[in-house]
Structure 1
Amino acid sequence: MSDLEDELRRLLHDPKYALPSWPDAVARVHAGMRVRRGRRWVARAFGSLTAFAAVLAIGGPVMSPTGPGIDLPSNAIVVPWQAVPYTEPPASAEKQAAECRARDFAVKGFPSGFGGRPDELIYTLEYRGDAICGITGTPKLEATAPDGGRRTTVVPASSDANSVTVYPGDSVGVAVADSDACVNEYRDPDFSFSADDPTRIRLADRLRGVCRKPKANWIVYGGSGGPLPSPRETLGVAVRAPSQVRSGEEFTYYVVLHNPGGKDVDLSPCPAYAVRVTGAGPYPLQLGGLSCGVSKIPALTGVWFEMRGKISVKPGSRVDLSWELSLFADKSGPGATATVDVVG
């Protein structure tokens, strides 16, 4: 072996000149996996931060700890859920109205006839009270007969209504038969709204040609066209519920009361509400009291109320969830409906 070969062999075995060995294949795979996991974690974290920033920016869905997220407006005013017992609302003003009394009416002008023949005269009684009243009794017409005795006639209404509400500005028309084919003359006809009304309305001095006894009927007409709606009746309602709920499990939904008017709507006393479930056979009515976390619904503004409920029907049913305000004991208020699929 030459000196050159000896020198080359020595250099190749000298550790000072040794090259790094190839890494182990398994170790290389593990290292690559660690790098990729780190990149995915960074991406997920960045995505979560981006989504959270977007929620903060636009308001995002209002999340409930007991139900799915439901998208509400970014500027929604939300009243949290609170279980409030149902309180029977008061009767409507119509139901609370006092009985109409003759002292609050006055004959307006002269009676009018039809077709140029005074076979029937209409006496207009103008209501001059400042509150509504009701005709629930049996109006009567009383007049003095030719023999001097007083005769009383029950006066039926011209409609089938058992009771009628009279509003300020309304009038009551009393139609009295007045035929010139008879010679009998009744005098001093008085009209009253019920037998227990101590006052009477004198319609005229006499009734010409009534053959036997006065015949008459009455009707409410003209005037205000009924009561103005209460401010709460003008509220708009919408319901946002999950598209699916599990049968028998509590879920969260939201109801908005929107005030379209230019004045605030007072919520004191806090109203009651009723919930109906239809579409899967008979289902009990659910009643509750609204949790008035706000004292009023501001003008041109909506307030969202978080609600809780259960629907226990056969899975696979599609039902309508209807929510409505209970303004009066005898009168429902505005409401809205959402369709829900019930799953097992």
Structure 2
Amino acid sequence: MRIAPKTIESDLREALHTSPPVDAWPDPVTRVTAGVTRRRRQRFLAATASAALVAGVAVAGTGLITHRPAPTTAVAGAEPAAAPQVLRRSPREDRQACRLDDVDSAQWIVRSALWGLSTGLAVRPHNSERCTLSGVPQLSGVNAATGALEPVAAAGAGPLDSSVARQFPATIDPGEAARVEIRGVKCAAGQTPRSYRDLVLTAGAEKISLPASRRLDGVCGADVSQWFVEPPMLYAALNATLRAPAVLRRGEEFTYTVRVDNVYARDYSLSPCPVYVLGIEATEIGSWQRVDCTASGIDGHDSVTFTLQGRIPPDIEPGPHKLSWMAVTGAGEAVVADMGTSGTAVIVTR
């Protein structure tokens, strides 16, 4: 069958006439301009969304900080107070007598802070169990004038210094120190003074040599105490840290802080407010003061910071020193700052 050329031409013209028109490509300038505008609009929207998100986070964070309780409460100020009574270990019952046959010499302890053992003689028996030293040892020494070893006469000058806590007799645990105090007595008018070296204490059959640095010079006898133990203080379940300028001048007044941390979950009462004293090594450099605290206690795992004033004595020797700070709570328990380092290191200048 033949199809007429005219028919084919007529069909083609009709198809082209009824087909939808094809969109033409825009010119290159129009295409570039449209793309740039579209990308700018997308970047603007993205930046706006990011800024809104950051602002929302910042507002939320600020709200959290504002409503969270501060971990440390700052208080300041103090007023004079009487020296407190510190709770100490209760007296112990007597035990078997301590053996002194393996003790060659006594120690001379020098107090280095406001807490701890007082300066004086100490004997540490090597017993493996708790034991008791009782009675009054006899003191003898080499007379510096004659070179003879002789007893030192008892002077009977009266009671010992009451500033040191003592329990009689000395019932001690292994490694704990039994103490004894020796006090030389000055001569009255018309008496002849004597001096002694190489001092020895005799307790029963045992003799204990004193350090060579211990002498009695120009005395008319000496008082020797009974054996006693210096009971340790009872400490509060609190940690304290002192912060002060690293360099201080003699005679200078300065501000320092003491942060007291309650490391346990239970609250610790501060009613009445604690009393405290500041010292350099073992020497108090001010009177006892009562902190003017506004908080009635320290919550569990919380802390309080005291902002306080101190003054360096004008006659202290320049050089390295340690500030020591001790407080006593209303319950009679001691709080010591920086006990592990025996105080806070400072340098004192002229």
TM-score, normalised by the number of residues in structure 1: 0.36
Q: Which has the higher contact order (CA 8 A, sep 6+)?
A: 2
